[in-house]
Amino acid sequence: AQSVTQPDIHITVSEGASLELRCNYSYGATPYLFWYVQSPGQGLQLLLKYFSGDTLVQGIKGFEAEFKRSQSSFNLRKPSVHWSDAAEYFCAVRRSNDYKLSFGAGTTVTVRA
Amino acid sequence: EPEVTQTPSHQVTQMGQEVILRCVPISNHLYFYWYRQILGQKVEFLVSFYNNEISEKSEIFDDQFSVERPDGSNFTLKIRSTKLEDSAMYFCASSDRINTGELFFGEGSRLTVL
């Protein structure tokens, strides 16, 4: 069964600083990979996804993620965070012909002024 | 932009009562899902639904749960006899295809069982 690990439960970053959120997955083949963001009181919004091709994917809100097969990782990055980026971030994975997403436990990002 | 809408946003119920959570998926989508998130825990898959039948369900989705698409627009999750441990945020999602299909999530329905 596939699993997703987000090693960092909580990250605090200063506004304007860079941000990197880690995600590792366990799966036999290359899965479909996703990052979602959940702002307080909101639903899950897709930031970006990887299915195949270029391993560096660009998403919304200035986020990008890099798929590294050798490390089974799909880390999310943003060069300069804004206060509005304070939220919970979830990495998720599914197989190409599967219906369900498996989510990581999430990383809460706090942005300080 | 089309979106998935869920009602109610918050429901409080007594243990043992039946609850129905409602979702209106994006109109041209064919695949529908329910996920839940117990406070402080992971978002967990409950069930997927396609072509008017369940396509996959998790072990969480026992006989107390059922899903239905009663009228071609709504997609409902029913919990027959709620338990305290059913308290969670329930998310509905939809997608237009299985391969490379992005899941669009609603804002969730928070269920509190007393």
Give the model confidence (pLDDT) of B3-46 as tens digits. Answer: 899 999 999 999 999 999 999 999 989 999 999 999 888 899 99
**Nearest chain A CA: its distance from B45 CA (Å):** 6
Record the tokens describing residue B109, joined without a space.
Answer: 């329905």
- Which residue from B minimizes the CA distance to A100? B45
The answer to whether A70 and B11 have CB atoms below 8 angstroms apart is no
Record the tokens describing residue A66, joined without a space.
Answer: 């890099």
| Mean per-residue pLDDT, A12-23 | 97
| Mean per-residue pLDDT, B76-88 | 97
Taking the CA atoms of A28, A34, A35 and A40 in sequence, report the sign of the dihedral they define: negative
Q: Which of the four pLDDT bands, split at 50, 70 and 90, describes residue A104?
A: very high
Residues of B in contact with A90 (CB under 8 A): 43
Mean pLDDT across chain B: 92
The shortest CB-CB distance from B99 to any of A90, A97, A104 is to A97
Q: What are phi and psi of B49, to 5 degrees?
A: -145, 130
The fraction of chain A above a pLDDT of 90, given in percent, is: 73
The answer to whether B34 and B44 have CB atoms below 8 angstroms apart is no
Pick the closest to residue B69 from B17, B37, B25 (CA basis).
Answer: B25
Q: Which of the four pLDDT bands, split at 50, 70 and 90, describes residue B99?
A: low
* B98 close contact with A: CB closer than 8 A: yes
Taking the CA atoms of A67, A31, A4 and B102 in sequence, report the sign of the dihedral they define: positive
Mutate to test the interface with A, among B6, B33, B103, B107 (most CBs of A within 10 A): B103
**Nearest chain B CA: its distance from A12 CA (Å):** 18
